Amino acid sequence: MSVIVGSDTRLCVSGITGSEGTFHTLNNKRYGTNVVSGVTPGKGGRDVEGIPVFDTFAKAVDETGANTAMIFVPPAFAADSILEAADAGIETIVAITEGIPAHDELRVFTQLRRQGNVRLVGPNCPGVLSPGKANVGIIPAAFFKEGGVGVVSRSGTLTYQIGNEIAQRGFGNSSIVGIGGDPVPGTSFIDVIALFEADPETELIVMAGEIGGDAEERAADYIAEHVTKPVVAYIAGFTAPPGKTMGHAGAIVSGSKGTAAAKAEALEAKGVRVGRTPTQVAEIAVEILRGA
């Protein structure tokens, strides 16, 4: 099995006619993802290498049965594109766009929570890869193979590194989910960990967090109460100076809150093994898998 995307994914890409949208859409299609349509207002009737383009999500869903959206539009238009996809009946939306204003993220988060039937991954994320089934986003899928390790991460590059190091040691991934590092993510660690816990093909969960906020601490509490599978974690930012935003908009430490050390301590107190480097995380994961 897989989580969020898989063999039943029918992908529609908002911003498909832009250079980045076209490039990554075709990469996803070459991987085997069922890309059924794209949306660019004013360019309906065209196609991108055989993929039909529509003016609206409503038209794309009606004519192609799209059930998943990928958002590749500029930050100023991303919120409206996400909400348009949701209004058209799409239940899985992956927002790659970075730099979306925080108040727009909050507006989208609030509206989608009211609707209750839409999963937003991101924004500012690398997307979701279920090896051998579907790739929705910008994750370099060639580095990964099918297996039993589920990865969820706030950082795109850490997602790639940890997943690849696990693959180099002979183990594959059930799904890889980049949730993004913005202050108002549509999907949390807890959301994805719950999916991995319920997925019969996921044997072990790796979570890659970073400084800022309390998402990792809340995940630690959830893991202790609800998760039976082994969880290995990494926290980026052990050497980050306090009070400075590091990389992602959500990666800022205030006083002693949100530090890598505090997050690692919270996770370890709940039985989660925390690696101090991505390589160590992979080594711990493999040790657990080989001992299982």
**Residue spans of beta strands (DSSP E) within 80-217:** 92-95, 119-121, 127-130, 134-137, 146-153, 173-178, 204-210
Least confident of 94-108, 130-144, 221-235, 258-272: 258-272
CATH code for the domain in which residue 54 is found? 3.40.50.720
Instruction: Give residue-wise pLDDT tens across range 196-226.
Output: 999 999 999 999 998 878 899 999 999 999 9
Q: Average pLDDT of 67-73? A: 98
* Band (292; pLDDT cuts 50, 70, 90): low
Q: Average pLDDT of 77-103? A: 97
C-beta neighbour count of 245 within 10 angstroms: 13
Determine contact, residues 95/121, Cβ cutoff 8 Å. yes
> Mean pLDDT score of the chain, rounded to an integer?
91
**135 falls within a domain:** no
Do residues 105 and 17 both lie within one domain? yes
Do residues 265 and 213 both lie within one domain? yes
Q: Which two tokens stand for residue 60?
A: 């794309």
The angle formed by the CA atoms of residues 122, 245 and 120, to the nearest 5 degrees, is 10
Do residues 21 and 109 both lie within one domain? yes
What is the rounded CA–CA span in Å between residue 276 and residue 286? 15
Do residues 151 and 104 both lie within one domain? no
Residue found by looking up tokens 């969820």 in the block: 152
Q: How high is the pLDDT of residue 256?
A: 46
* Band (248; pLDDT cuts 50, 70, 90): low
* Residue 209: closest CA among 287, 274, 140, 128: 274
Q: Exactly one of 24, 103, 226, 248 is catalytic; name it.
A: 248
Residue 188 sits in which domain range? 144-291
Q: How high is the pLDDT of residue 127?
A: 97
Question: What is the H or E stretch that residue 54 is in?
Answer: strand 51-54
Do residues 24 and 162 both lie within one domain? no
Residue 164, pLDDT > 90, answer: no
Q: Count of domains in the chain?
A: 2
Residue 255, pLDDT > 50, answer: no
Residue 257, pLDDT > 70, answer: no
**80 falls within a domain:** yes
User: Could you say which DSSP state residue 272 is in?
Assistant: -
Q: Say what the pTM is.
A: 0.92
What is the rounded CA–CA span in Å between residue 168 and residue 280? 13
Determine contact, residues 121/187, Cβ cutoff 8 Å. yes
Q: How high is the pLDDT of residue 240?
A: 55
Residue type, 164: N
The end-to-end CA distance of the chain, in Å, is 20
**Residue 226 is a catalytic residue:** no
Q: How high is the pLDDT of residue 241?
A: 59
Q: Average pLDDT of 23-31? A: 98
- The share of the chain scoring above pLDDT 90, in percent, equals 78
Determine contact, residues 292/243, Cβ cutoff 8 Å. no
